[in-house]
Amino acid sequence: MHPIYPLLPDLPEILLLDTHADFLPDNDNWHTDVTFTETPPLAGILAAKRIPTSGGDTLWSSCSAAYEALSKPMRAFLDGLTAQHSVAKSFPPERWQNDPSFKERYERAVAKHPPVNHPVVRTHPVSGRKGLFVNEGFTTHINELSPGESRSLLDFLYAHAGRPEFTVRWRWKVDDLAFWDNRVTQHYAIADYLPERRTMHRATVNGDKPF
């Protein structure tokens, strides 16, 4: 269950992602879902319910492929670093706290989810492959570096993970269903369809603590 997004009244396990001109999308950046928790989701499941006449595609990026494409010295440098993740980075108070329909839910979410630290490079618990585990949506800084070093390195890693050779792009049709491994991917919902409407239903699978 997501701490901020609305849920379907008759199916509280399902998130409602309903974006349009009066409720702008906020997931049009590269992100891994809910990394601001100690145990981010293992997987995400997304169902298309209302699709604009054009646009609204979703991109996924392989964080394992991105990590493995780095030079050996860069991989060695990143191993052992940790980064902080915060709910407030993708859900800033100026939008969510000022909306009466979300204010109470938002304040509970921020109080319940203080910033957490995760490894910059995560090991997949099944395959054993390593993958980048920082994302533009929720990562605020790398703990072991100075602010300037952290910003420069994160900017590089964000751009690197989004390179086309690590990505796939899905053009939605109504009732399409996507299922992805949230531990080793990022995704980007392209916001090129406004003022049309895009409605999706999402479920997440509980995960464990990254290592």
> Annotated catalytic residue: which of 85, 122, 187, 198?
187
Whether 181 is a known active-site residue: answer no
> Annotated catalytic residue: which of 20, 50, 75, 202?
202
pLDDT at 83: 98
Whether 124 is a known active-site residue: answer no
> Annotated catalytic residue: which of 26, 31, 181, 183?
31
pLDDT at 27: 81
CA-derived radius of gyration, the chain: 17
> Annotated catalytic residue: which of 33, 85, 118, 122?
33
Cα 208 to Cα 8, 25, 151, distances in angstroms: 25, 28, 27
CB atoms within 10 A of CB 153: 20
Whether 31 is a known active-site residue: answer yes
pLDDT at 11: 87
pLDDT at 179: 98
User: Any idea what DSSP says for residue 39?
Assistant: S
Tokens 């999308």, located at residue: 25
- Tell me if 82 sits within 8 A of 120, measured CB to CB: yes
Per residue in 85-103, pLDDT tens? 998 887 877 676 667 767 7
**Which helix (H) or strand (E) is 11 found in, with range?**
strand 11-19
Tell me which residues of the chain have a pLDDT lower than 70. 1, 94, 96-98, 101
pTM: 0.89
Whether 33 is a known active-site residue: answer yes
pLDDT at 129: 97
